[in-house]
Amino acid sequence: MSKLVILTGLRANNDLHLGNYLGALLPMIDMAKKHAGEYQINLFVPDLHSFTTPINHDNFQASIMDNLRVFIAAGLPLNNPDVHIYRQSYVPAHSELAWILNCFAGFGELSRMTEFKDKSARLGIDHIGVGQFDYPCLMAADILLYRAAYVPVGEDQRQHIEFTRTIGARLNSKFGKLFEVPKSMAETHKFFGADQGLRVRDLLDPTKKMSKSDESGKGVIFLTDSPEAARKKVLSATTDSVGLVNHDYKNQPGISNLIDILKYFGEDTKVFMGQSQYGPLKERAANVIADFLENFQASVKQVDDVHLLNKLESSEIAMNKAANSTLLRVQQAVGLRPKN
C-alpha cells in the first residue's frame, strides 16, 4: 500500500442507537469522504473481538450484515477505491500476528489495562475470558498490519492505542523497521479536529451517555425503534424544575441534550430559548427523530446487498494481500520463515 491508512472498526453486533449514529457513525463517514484520496480508509468489522463478551451466536452473521447496511444507508462511499470494508476474521493474518505479539507482550502490562481490571473486578477473575485479557494484542495486530497512521477511537481505548504504539516500537527496536507505529491519541485528535462527534445523553438519565447497557431501553433511541416508539421515549424524557429552556448541561442536562440533538439535525433551536414550557421543545424533538427514523429505515431496506457483498469480497482480497505482506516480514524477522 502506497498511502498511509486511517483505520477504525465498525461494530459487529448489538443494536445501534441514536448516540452511535450521531456521535460515531456520521463522523466516521464524514472522515471517509473527506480523507479518501489522500489516505486509504480501512473500516473493518471486528468480529473476533465480539467474543470477549457474551453474544447470540445464532444470529451473529445477521447482526454483522444488518450493521453494515446501516453504515451504507448512512452514506458510506462504497464506490470510492480508497475506502475498504472487511471482516476481521476473513483476514487470518490478524489472528496470527496477534499470537506473535502475545509472545512479546508482558503479563503485567496487559494486567494493568483498565478495561480488563474493571471487568475482572466486577465479574470475578474466574468469570472473564482470556480473550478479554488478550484484547490489546489482537487490536494491535488489527492496526499494525496495515501501516495505519491514524486510528480514531474513543477515550476508553486510549490505553490500547498506547499499547499498540509500545509493542510496535518494541519489535521495531528488536528486529528493525517492521511496522508503521500509529500516531498518538493527541496527534489523532489534532488531525481530525476537536469535535469528534456529538455525545448523546440517555433520555431518562441525561447525566450519562446513551448506551445499550441501559437495561430498560427507555432512555435509548435504537435505530430499529418504530417512529412512534421513539416519539414516546422523547416525550417521556427527563427534564428539570428550572422552568426555562436553556443550554446548560450542569443544571439542565436533559433539555440541553434535546437542544443539541435538534441542532445536529439542522433545526433552529433559538426559537425555544427562554421559553417557560418544555412541551414544544420535546414535541419538536420527538417529531424530528421520528421523521429521521422513518426515512433512515427506508434507506436501510434499499441497500443493495449484492453491491455490499461485492465490496466486502474485493476489499478482503486487497486486505489479505496487504496484511500477508506485513505478516511475512514479521515471520521472517522472528525466524518462522526463511529470509530472501
- Residue 145 makes CB contacts below 8 A (sequence gap 6+) with 91, 93, 94, 97, 322, 323, 326, 327
Take residue 182 and report the three cell numbers written for it: 500509529
Burial group, residue 326, by CB count within 10 angstroms (0-12, 13-18, 19+): buried
Q: Is 301 a catalytic residue?
A: no
Q: Is 233 a catalytic residue?
A: no
Distance between CA atoms of residues 195 and 185, nearest Å: 14
Q: What is the DSSP letter of 126?
A: G
Among 119, 183, 233, 311, the one annotated catalytic:
119
Distance between CA atoms of residues 207 and 219, nearest Å: 12
Among 117, 174, 208, 212, the one annotated catalytic:
212
Among 3, 209, 218, 321, the one annotated catalytic:
209
Query: Looking at the DSSP assignment, which residues form a beta bridge with residue 17?
Result: 222
What is the β-pairing status of strands 148-150 and 5-9? parallel
Q: Is 209 a catalytic residue?
A: yes
Positions marked active-site: 119, 209, 212
